[in-house]
Amino acid sequence: MARYVDGFVIPIKKKNLPAYKKMAKLGCKVWMDHGALDYYECVGDDLDTAWGFPFPKQYKLKKDETVIFAFIVYKSKADRVRINKKVHKDPRMTGMKDMVMPFSVERFTMGGFKVLVRK
């Protein structure tokens, strides 16, 4: 069965992690209520790796920052579109539109991905 994923990388100040976690828990509940198959919000732990281009260099992280790596799994791209329409109309989310984000939206990155390999 096909899958589709929304992926996010979000640089964030470590002091803002509690506020982000609160927001992420709500996001998880809303997306899962509307049909997402899975939802992950992960915080950087081992970022200074010898392989590839490390997140701290890629995102020019300061000592007081880390990154969130998050992804939402859907049955298909069509399901993603349907679910996201519902999420963006959900009163639990529309109340957040005036909220000050606990991260810099200018440094936030995201995209939709077709699954290439899956067990």
Domain of 96, in residue numbers:
4-114
* 93 falls within a domain: yes
Q: CATH number of the domain that 92 lies in?
A: 3.30.70.100
* 33 falls within a domain: yes
* 38 falls within a domain: yes
Domain tally, the chain: 1
Question: 114: which strand partners?
Answer: 4
Q: Give the pLDDT band (50/70/90) at residue 41.
A: very high
* Sequence-ordered list of residues with C-beta below 8 angstroms from that of 80, at least 6 positions apart, any chain: 4, 6, 72, 74, 112
* 36 falls within a domain: yes
State yes or no: pLDDT of 2 exceeds 90: no
* Sequence-ordered list of residues with C-beta below 8 angstroms from that of 117, at least 6 positions apart, any chain: none
**Distance between CA atoms of 24 and 14, rounded to whole angstroms?**
15
pLDDT for 68 equals 97
* 17 falls within a domain: yes
More confident residue, 50 or 62: 62
Percentage with pLDDT > 90 across the chain: 80
* 119 falls within a domain: no
